[in-house]
Structure 1
Amino acid sequence: MLIVGIAWSAKRQNHARQLARWKELEWLQALSAATPGAELAEVTRVYQSARFGTKAVITWLASGRRQDAWFEGNWPGPGAVVLLCGVTGWGPHNRNPDVFFVLPDELLAMMSAGTRKALLHNHMQGAKRAR
């Protein structure tokens, strides 16, 4: 009886966590649709966290394109989904003419690291069970 209760409680907590993740994603997508010029990207890799910001590789969710980025005054972690504005320009640190620069007020929202990955994983698990 105790084991059944523990399993039921764990399943219920996982369901609540998944529901909260979906709501977070829906909120971010709605904010993206309501914000002209803003786009969603996932922080693919952080290659330097510095005192004044973060150098990272982002993947644009709409196109799948990867791009180096500089987040001034922000430190998003790998796996974070961000809603941002910014400009592309010359990156003197890596001599790359295609770095996306994000000022502190241009990081409009951020979904916790790993949330999107967890949702995709859960979706794939559900699809496997449905077969």
Structure 2
Amino acid sequence: MFTEIAGLLLCCVPVAGVVLLVVFVRRRRDQRLAGEWQRLLDVHARLAGEAAIALVDHVDQHAEGGAKAVIRWHATDRQQDAWFEGRHPPPGSAWLVRSPGERNPGTFAIHPGDVIDFAPAGAVAAARRQRRRAAEKPRDGR
């Protein structure tokens, strides 16, 4: 009986250790990515209307000179086609670009000089997870 329990412990302890390590690494990564998203929001706030945040939903086409993607404007949640000249943005990334103003309403062209800053793919989702964890945390310190 004792050897069966010992064998079971020898099997389960390493598995539990790996699971805890994965959770720890993911939370650290989420903290870093959420910080990138917050930094982008801070820069956006300092620019006071001179820039807009475009979230890359998916990339339709890659070409030598850039990529065509579907973006969603953070302020309005409106989708729009966009051409990223000289760049290949990953889905899930966020781009702070000079305000669209009165540009072509069909396809928004993002030239290299229009990009002010960006947050890597996963930053927005990581910030959501961080907020959810903070909201689920008990308030009485337990």
TM range (shorter): 0.7 to 0.9
- In structure 1, list runs of 5 or more residues that go unmatched: 90-96
Q: Pick the aligned partner of 1:34 from 33, 37, 46.
A: 46
Instruction: Quote the RMSD (CA, aligned, Å).
Output: 2.5
Quickly say closer, same or farther: Cα 1:2–1:17, change in 2 above 3 A: same
Q: Offset of 1:32 from its aligned partner?
A: 0.9
Q: Which has the higher helix share?
A: 2
Which whole-Å CA distance do the structure 2 matches of 1:32 and 1:129 have between them?
Answer: 29
Number of aligned pairs? Answer: 123
**Which structure has more strand as a fraction of its residues?**
1
Distance 1:122 1:30 in 2: 17
- TM-score, normalisation: structure 2: 0.72
Unaligned runs of 5+ residues in structure 2 are: 1-12
Equivalent in the alignment of 2:86: 73
1:78-111 deviation per Cα after TM superposition (whole angstroms, max 9, x unaligned): 111111126422xxxxxxx521111112122221
Normalising to structure 1: TM-score of the pair? 0.77
Residue of structure 1 equivalent to 2:28: 16
Q: Which residue of 1 aligns with 2:70?
A: 57
The answer for the alignment partner of 1:47 in structure 2 is 60
Identical columns (%):
30
Mark the structure with the bigger radius of gyration.
2
